[in-house]
Amino acid sequence: MTLKGKTLFITGASRGIGLAIAKRAAQDGANIVIIAKTSDPNPKLPGTIYSAAKEVEAAGGNALPLAVDIRDDDAVVAAVAKAVEAFGGIDILVNNASAISLTNTEATPMKRFDLMNGINARGTYLCTSTCLPELKKSAAAGRNPHVLTMSPPLSMKTHWFAAHTAYSMAKYGMSMCTLGHAGEFKKFGIGVNSLWPRTAIATAAMQMIPGVDLALCRKPEILSDAAYLILTGPSTVTGNFFIDDSLLIEHGVTDLDQYSVTPGTKNFVPDFFVD
């Protein structure tokens, strides 16, 4: 199975992991709806919806760049309508957009709490609920629809919360959407899963976190290749919290060193939430 002719609605697709997933799907000739806020260049964070569209088209796909804040209900509804108008429907939703602040309670003002929970948990729920009618149509047409959320396994352990309670709540909110929607949408034939990296991933956003050595990270392509395996697999596979390297190994990928920023690295920066 390939993604040729499929339409993917990807949030946070202007750079990093979202863009990598978009470009991998584009290699099959997929239609990519690029959802992100960045329409004008930012010197601190390279990449806009328009530069991403050029990369998607260069990779062989069709692109629809849309400047959308996924905290805005009306903007998400309008974006879904534009996607349907352009490509006839939506087969896959990738909930990738996320905000991060690794701060403790005293250092997390409510404005930052609302930002993270508004984008991560609420934004994931909003995009999923708004895309659901189109995903149901895709299922009825036998087009193997999926929802894939970039969020961690649910591990309710104190050490994953203590240092940054607000961020952990926001990320686990995304994972709770996966858990609930997998059960709720199973009767429709829609696969709902989460994907998370074992190691830190070298992205522009990660570069802004103090103390992270990007040389000891993996490239975003490890997630895009893992995501591709999920999205081209049957939608009956649902309710899983996949870890990128384990999934690739299960599918026979033996050369994980290709994903290392520094070839030969053994001691990567570990990601959060992986026990």
The H or E element containing residue 140 is: helix 123-140
State the CB neighbour count (10 A cutoff) for residue 101.
16
Sign for the pseudo-dihedral over CA of 62, 66, 72, 74: negative
What is the residue type of 236?
Answer: T
Strands in 7-11's sheet, in edge-to-edge order, are 62-67, 31-36, 7-11, 92-95, 146-149, 191-196, 241-243
Name the active-site residue from 167, 172, 228, 259.
167
What is the residue type of 245?
Answer: D
What is the residue type of 83?
Answer: A
Whether 167 is a known active-site residue: answer yes
Instruction: Assign residue 89 a region (left: φ > 0; alpha: ψ between -120 and 50; beta: otherwise).
Output: left
Tracing tokens 């050369």 back to the chain, one arrives at 255
165 vs 147: CA distance, rounded Å: 26
Note whether 225 and 21 are within 8 A (CB): no
Q: Which residues are catalytic?
A: 167
